[in-house]
Amino acid sequence: MISPSEDIKFAIPLVEPLVCRDSVGNFVPHVVRDDYDRIVRAAGKIEGGVLPPGSVLSELLSETVTKEKVRIHQIIPVVWGGSGAHVDNVMYPTLKQHTNKAQGPTELEVEIAEHLKFKENSVIFFYNFKYDGESLFPSKAKRYIDVVHANGYRDCYRNGAQYEMITENLSRRYSITSV
């Protein structure tokens, strides 16, 4: 985050390419993997309008990816049209999230899905994962999401908190709201 003062937080706007699609048309993010074949970066842009139905994480994929009794999640959630059958859309919880990650879509994911029903709107996301050693589970995960409205205004979410976007006009009042 960039901050011109201690009490004001700003977000740098995200710029990412359109997401990919799986064989049935559901969304899959662009990913970068490390030497251990773990996802270290996942990103993309989803344009609003008619979204694909999405699919839940397949049991076969879930069992193939991990032998541990841990609930893995989708990077692009089902409510946004995310593929549950593609390995590039699998997100492991951080060690901290093993016990506190809720099942089903979050309130923010549902709000964004409603936003994506309109063709002029879009969502841009960037996830960054850091790992310790050879662990399958990230030690840290950062989630950056920009919700872009038809009028060009952006709602910027950084790890769950909403930030104001950097603008030319810094004279207006800015605040952070938690989601």
The Cα angle at residue 46 between residues 44 and 51, in degrees rounded to 5: 140
- Report the 10 Å Cβ neighbour count for 33: 13
What does the pLDDT read at residue 106? 85
The Cα angle at residue 57 between residues 162 and 94, in degrees rounded to 5: 50
- Report the 10 Å Cβ neighbour count for 10: 18
Separation of alpha carbons 153 and 160, rounded Å: 19
pLDDT digits (tens, 9 = 90+) for 38-88: 999 999 999 999 899 999 887 766 665 556 667 788 999 999 999 999 999
Domain regions of the chain by residue span: 16-147
For 2-16, 60-74, 88-102, 138-152, which range has the lowest pLDDT when averaged over its residues? 2-16
**141 near 106, Cβ under 8 Å?**
no
The tokens for 4 are 């011109």
Please report the DSSP string for 132-175 in residue order.
STT-SS-SEEEEEEEEE-TTS-EEEEETTEEEEEP-S-TTS---
Gyration radius of the chain's alpha carbons: 17
Please tell me the pTM assigned to this model. 0.81
